[in-house]
Structure 1
Amino acid sequence: MPEQRFLQVVRGDPTPEEIAALVAVLTARARAATGPAPRPRRSAWSDPSRRLRRPLPHGPGAWRTSALPG
């Protein structure tokens, strides 16, 4: 498979630092054009609402249902 060039210097003699700066700018522009990166999904285990207690049932037999898993 022949190697295809992504960048080609047509005129001048750029230093490696100048080429690196150009690649950094082009990479940043390409990422900005695609939009922000998607946020990673949070695990349900790290959800702060899991630390909140559900209301306890009221009425006859409430003591029995309070120990049952929800």
Structure 2
Amino acid sequence: MMKRYWFQLLTESYDELGALIPDGSSKTTALNRAKRWMEQNGVDSAILAVNSMVTSNILDMIQIEL
């Protein structure tokens, strides 16, 4: 399956948190990985940025609250 997205986990101020979330085609898988990373690193609120592999444009910003 083709990788369509690359992901960044950001703070509320849009700073990069440094979470390694693999490129892929599933936002759900990335969201689950982001939540797991947040739990392991004591982060209770973040934004998952979904970026296009083709254009590098931000396609979605998903607010995550644990």
TM-score in terms of structure 1 length: 0.27
Larger helix percent: 1
Which structure has the highest strand share of the two?
Answer: 2
TM-score (normalised: structure 2): 0.28
